[in-house]
Chain A
């Protein structure tokens, strides 16, 4: 039972390059999310999806794009990488609805450095 899997774990990009951060979950969760964590800043929501084919912006969407063609996968695309996108990126998923154990399952993160 893998949960939420993120690849790659580390990446160094040059300014202006682009890349895709991969995220896949095997729990049949409807909701998926992308967060970034900057030092001392907590986690900021980039994009989220409530189901296949549906995505929406979070707090800090500029410079990113997402797609959700399947329930399992929610890739995050960085176009024209900038030093401000240096961060740790976390993908998460959750089951629709509120229950006693309402919470996200997070991946282990992707550490991205833009130089």
Chain B
């Protein structure tokens, strides 16, 4: 039962263009969503998050959009840079009371930004 799904295992874009990574979830109790970036041989690092009371959160080149009715979120990277090449994980959490701060992760999407 995969509650958080990233249907694209890989994505390749040209430097300077937009990267769009997608994520779908099934559990309606999720109310907080995060994106992590992972380089080879390193642990994932927190990138950006969004609460379910918002539909957009922006941090520099990174913007996360949340569509609650569709249970879908996306990460936009503009402009994409070669250093953005990494695996991106989508993650979701319910309330502290229901999930104890646990995160459920998607399978990850390998982003490659070509110079």
Contacts and interface: CB of A to CB of B under 8 A. Distances in A.
Interface residues of B, number: 25
Interface stretch (B64-72, B77-85, B95-103): B95-103
A45 B105 CA distance: 9
A75 B32 CA distance: 28
A95 to B, nearest CB: 9
A108 B102 contact: no
Interface in A81-115: 90, 92, 94, 96-98, 100-109
A69 to B, nearest CB: 20
Interface of A: 4, 31, 33, 35, 40-45, 48, 50, 56, 58, 90, 92, 94, 96-98, 100-109
Interface of B: 4, 6, 9, 32, 34, 36, 41-46, 49, 89, 93, 96, 100-108
